[in-house]
């Protein structure tokens, strides 16, 4: 092997390491969590943690009216889910379940709310969620700590 080939293989080995994968999964967890957390924060009353705003309830009655749930229920479920699952992703607890829940939310948004947003936004959210569903939270997660202790 020539020097270029050896260098290439060393770089590939480094990028394929457990550390590199876990760092990437941490970044993916924070990225997906950030998207939904910020959305969840727009649905609560200013100065509160989880009081669903009248604006959010109005949006679910009017703009998001195609969602096949009663608007009041949908506003609460979406707000709570957009806080719970991102928080779990950040600490890496129940990573696959949380990513699956956010994938489900993404598909509801795609199908019933903004069907034109697949190529511009939702495809990226789906890709992030699928990475976490397939690979899990990585070594820098509560999931890894809890499974190591068994």
What pLDDT score does 4 carry?
Answer: 81
What pLDDT score does 6 carry?
Answer: 84
What pLDDT score does 96 carry?
Answer: 98
- Count of helix runs (H) and strand runs (E) in the chain: 7, 0
Q: Name residues whose C-beta falls within 8 Å of residue 51's C-beta, 6 or more positions apart in sequence.
A: 44, 45
pTM for the full model? 0.92
Per-residue pLDDT of the chain (150 residues; tens, 9 = 90+): 788 888 888 999 999 899 999 999 999 999 999 999 999 999 999 999 999 999 999 999 999 999 999 999 999 999 999 999 999 999 999 999 999 999 999 999 999 999 999 999 999 999 999 999 999 999 999 999 999 865
* Distance, CA of 133 to CA of 125 (rounded, Å): 12
* Distance, CA of 127 to CA of 150 (rounded, Å): 31
What pLDDT score does 150 carry?
Answer: 56
């Amino acid at each position: 092997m020539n020097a270029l080939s050896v260098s290439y293989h060393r770089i590939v080995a480094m990028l394929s390491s457990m550390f590199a994968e876990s760092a990437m999964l941490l970044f993916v967890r924070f990225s997906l969590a950030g998207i939904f957390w910020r959305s969840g924060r727009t649905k609560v009353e200013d100065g509160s943690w989880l009081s669903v705003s009248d604006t959010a309830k109005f949006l679910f009655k009017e703009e998001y009216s195609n969602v096949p749930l009663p608007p009041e229920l949908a506003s609460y479920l979406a707000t709570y889910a957009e806080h719970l699952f991102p928080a779990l992703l950040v600490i890496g607890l129940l990573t696959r379940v949380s990513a699956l829940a956010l994938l489900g939310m993404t598909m509801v948004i795609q199908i019933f709310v903004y069907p034109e947003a697949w190529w511009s936004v939702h495809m990226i959210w789906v890709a992030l969620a699928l990475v976490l569903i397939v690979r899990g939270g990585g070594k820098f997660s509560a999931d890894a700590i809890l499974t190591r202790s068994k």
